[in-house]
Amino acid sequence: MGRITLRNVTKGFGEVTVIPSLDLEIDDGEFVVFVGPSGCGKSTLLRLIAGLEDASGGQILIDGADATRVPPARRQLAMVFQSYALYPHMTVRNNIAFPLRMAGVDPATAARKVEAAARVLNLTAYLDRRPGQLSGGQRQRVAIGRAIVREPKAFLFDEPLSNLDAALRGAMRLEITELHQSLRTTMVYVTHDQVEAMTMADTIVVLNAGRIEQVGSPLDLYNRPANVFVAGFIGSPRMNLIGGADAAAMGAATIGVRPEHIDIAADGPWRGQVTVAERLGADTFLHVAVEGIGPMTVRAGGGHGATHGDTIGLTPQAGRIHRFGQDGRAL
Amino acid sequence: MARAVSPQRKAAMTALAWGVALLIFFPILWMVLTSFKTEATAVAQPPQWLFFDWTVENYVTVQAQRDYFGFFLNSVIIAVGSTALGLLVAVPAAWSMAFVPGARTRDLLMWMLSTKMMPAVAVLVPIYLIFVRLGLLDTRIGLVVVLMLINLPIIVWMLYTYFREIPAEILEAARMDGATLRSEILYVLTPMAVPGIASTVLLNIILAWNEAFWTITLTTVDAAPLTKFISSFSSPQGLFYAKLSAASTMAIAPILIMGWFSQKQLVRGLTFGAVK
């Protein structure tokens, strides 16, 4: 079981309040991703769950039991750090075995579990090496191995892929997702990368300035952003947000249209000049200076021929326009 | 980055460096040479450099008059004992200062170090009286405790500097892995800090070995270390330079040999953390 409940949790460092007051329910077996810009409190929130930071107020329950004052060692959670945080003086084998040793597991059982974890993570050949002799991806796998051997109630990941290069990041993303599918253990994952959030999560928690902006499935957040912040944060390239007369005409303070929901049509209501055309092969992203509105991003097909200086017309797809009120909330 | 230096300038700098090094080394060299002279050649004018009748009689006499190994053993016990006891106190102290610093941690560290700026003689009377009351005069345990207290600020400072270099995330990982505070310090922090701890140990053994004020003042016979051994040759029968030199050479030889073999470790230790 690995059910984590946060009730009115607050956290401040001295005078500075990082998390004002927050409630959250994480179900057993769920893959939850905390996402938000840097400094939004997502890592702090994870560290509160881990017990590495003490909550200034509120309650943290793990499987219904109050864990607010329980030291990290006894919360039965495992954590994978951004810097891997491997023990440099120990071999891979001893790194992975360390939590078992701390739990007093007998050496024979521990050795068996380490071997099993190493097999799953393709680390068998490296068991007698030290972390310094491994590549970044291998180190990250050792950190994951160290987390899985102790069969924790939940895994906590603190931006585990941000030190890896793009190709490796994609591969590890897949590995972690597969790991979750085979273990079905609760995972709480912190990232600032919304692609990671969208592709891995069952549930995404969007954080901003220590507050939860929205909780939902990736497609929920994409299709029905609760407010301007979520609308702008989820989706890549980001949603075009338009204020002024165009918004007022639709009875909103701000309207939003995603780049993929704008069609290029000569007779479209919006006209503008292409400033940059980014060709990615499958897609072409056109940055357009629209008259009376400003810069807008549009996704066109990979073969679209528009280039710098061309004037084009744009039409938002019907039913794909998000409307937000004065307070930023979706209408 | 290397700076361009003309060959002449480089040669001059090298000569200067050698000059300074020899100047520092000269007293020790002279002491060793003197220890192989007779008392007469030792004070001869002009001084005799290398061409004199070399003799080991001073060493024989010194060993016959005082049991060198008794003093040596005391020195070893006091130096190693005070360092070990110091580590036992300093590791947890440095751990808490490095990883759970409070608002006053820096002040505390400065205060600890400031005690080293106080002249030792200022606390001679109180410490002497405490030793008398507790029956610690001329005991090894008494000296172990005093030298530990004297060097503790340095041990704590050095360990603090080393511990600060260890990423806190690794200790947090240990905590997440179920390590108690004791296991965290024992299995993770200490092994990672081994190079630092080694140079701290070396430096402290040297400091304790060379400490003369307290070891001479607080001992008579039973706990007397090599510092007392040297000083005992200086007064009663007038100055016998050759014998005094032989005694001094014997006293510093062990620490000199140890220092020689561990110089790499020591230099690394003293400059550690100076550059990232």
CB contact under 8 Å between A81 and B174, yes or no, is: no
Distance from CA of A250 to the nearest CA of B (A): 51
Note whether A70 contacts B: Cβ–Cβ < 8 A. no
pLDDT at B276: 32
DSSP state letters, B145-190 = HHHHHHHHHHHHHHHHHHHHTS-HHHHHHHHHTT--HHHIIIIIIH
When CB atoms are compared, the residue of B167, B177, B191 closest to A146 is: B177
Q: Is the pLDDT of residue B2 over 70?
A: no
CB contact under 8 Å between A99 and B178, yes or no, is: yes
Q: Look-up: residue for tokens 């941690």? A: B105
Q: Are A262 and A190 found together in one domain?
A: no
CB contact under 8 Å between B175 and A71, yes or no, is: yes
pLDDT at B271: 56
pLDDT at A162: 87
Q: Are A82 and A196 found together in one domain?
A: yes
pLDDT at B51: 79
Distance from CA of A73 to the nearest CA of B (A): 4
pLDDT at B268: 64
Contacting residues of B for A151, CB less than 8 Å apart: none
Question: Is-contact B213 B120, C-beta < 8 A?
Answer: yes
pLDDT-derived band at B274, boundaries 50, 70, 90 = very low
Note whether B167 contacts A: Cβ–Cβ < 8 A. yes
pLDDT at A136: 87
Quick one: how many helices (H) and strands (E) in chain A? 9, 18
Sorted by where each begins, the domain ranges of chain B are 7-58, 66-232
- Provide the Cα torsion A264, A268, A274, A276; round to 10°: -40
* Cis upstream peptide for A237 (omega within 30°): yes
* Residue in A with minimal Cα distance to B195: A89
Contacting residues of A for B172, CB less than 8 Å apart: 52, 72, 79, 81, 85
Distance from CA of B207 to the nearest CA of A (A): 30
Task: Give mean pLDDT in consecutive 10-residue pieces for chain A, a chain of 331 residues.
Answer: 92 89 94 92 93 93 93 92 91 94 93 93 92 90 92 93 87 91 94 91 93 94 94 91 88 93 90 92 92 91 86 91 92 87
Q: Is the pLDDT of residue B220 over 60?
A: yes
CB contact under 8 Å between A73 and B172, yes or no, is: no
Note whether B100 contacts A: Cβ–Cβ < 8 A. no
When CB atoms are compared, the residue of B176, B188, B192 closest to A72 is: B176
Note whether A86 contacts B: Cβ–Cβ < 8 A. yes
What percent of chain B shows pLDDT beyond 90? 33
Note whether B192 contacts A: Cβ–Cβ < 8 A. yes
pLDDT-derived band at B18, boundaries 50, 70, 90 = very high
Q: Is the pLDDT of residue B138 over 80?
A: yes
pLDDT-derived band at B262, boundaries 50, 70, 90 = confident
Q: Are A289 and A186 found together in one domain?
A: no
Q: Are A204 and A146 found together in one domain?
A: yes
Q: Are A203 and A300 found together in one domain?
A: no
Q: What is the mean pLDDT of residues B209-225?
A: 86
Question: Looking at residue A308, which CATH number applies to its domain?
Answer: 2.40.50.140
Domain that holds residue A174: 29-53+67-212
Q: Are A140 and A47 found together in one domain?
A: yes
Q: Are A34 and A183 found together in one domain?
A: yes
Residue B263 to residue A3: CA distance in whole angstroms: 56
When CB atoms are compared, the residue of A51, A79, A150 closest to B173 is: A79
Question: Is-contact A12 A56, C-beta < 8 A?
Answer: yes
CB contact under 8 Å between A85 and B192, yes or no, is: no
Q: Is the pLDDT of residue B132 over 70?
A: yes
Note whether A319 contacts B: Cβ–Cβ < 8 A. no
* Residue in B with minimal Cα distance to A97: B177
Size of interface A-B (CB pairs under 8 A): 62
What distance, in Å, lies between the first and last C-alpha atoms of chain A?
Answer: 38
- In chain A, the number of structural domains is 2
Q: Is the dihedral of CA B204, B208, B212, B218 positive or negative?
A: positive
Q: Is the pLDDT of residue B264 over 80?
A: no
Q: What is the pLDDT of residues B32-41, one digit of tens each?
A: 998 898 887 8
Q: Are A133 and A258 found together in one domain?
A: no
* Residue in A with minimal Cα distance to B192: A89
pLDDT at B13: 93
pLDDT-derived band at B275, boundaries 50, 70, 90 = very low
CB contact under 8 Å between B177 and A99, yes or no, is: yes
Instruction: Please report the residues numbered 128 through 157 in chain A whose beta carbons come closer than 8 angstroms to any beta carbon of chain B.
Output: 146, 150, 156
**DSSP state, A236?**
S
* A224 located within any domain: no
When CB atoms are compared, the residue of A52, A71, A85 closest to B170 is: A85
Q: B66-232, what's its fold?
A: MetI-like fold (1.10.3720)
Q: What is the pLDDT of residues B221-261, one digit of tens each?
A: 888 888 888 888 776 556 778 888 888 898 888 888 888 88
Q: What is the pLDDT of residues A6-40, one digit of tens each?
A: 999 999 988 888 999 999 999 999 999 999 998 89
Q: Are A39 and A166 found together in one domain?
A: yes
pLDDT at B270: 58
Give me the amino acid identity at A110: A
Q: Are A146 and A245 found together in one domain?
A: no
Residue A205 to residue A193: CA distance in whole angstroms: 13
The complex scores an ipTM of 0.85
When CB atoms are compared, the residue of A51, A89, A98 closest to B177 is: A98
Q: Is the pLDDT of residue B106 over 80?
A: yes
CB contact under 8 Å between A102 and B183, yes or no, is: yes
pTM for the model = 0.78
pLDDT at A159: 92
CB contact under 8 Å between A74 and B170, yes or no, is: no
pLDDT at B240: 79
Question: Is-contact A82 A159, C-beta < 8 A?
Answer: yes
pLDDT at B231: 83
Question: Looking at residue A75, which CATH number applies to its domain?
Answer: 3.40.50.300
Distance from CA of A308 to the nearest CA of B (A): 46
Q: Are A42 and A144 found together in one domain?
A: yes
> Which tokens hold the place of A311?
């004037």
Q: What is the pLDDT of residues B164-184, one digit of tens each?
A: 888 889 999 999 999 998 999
* A179 located within any domain: yes
Question: Is-contact A234 A222, C-beta < 8 A?
Answer: yes
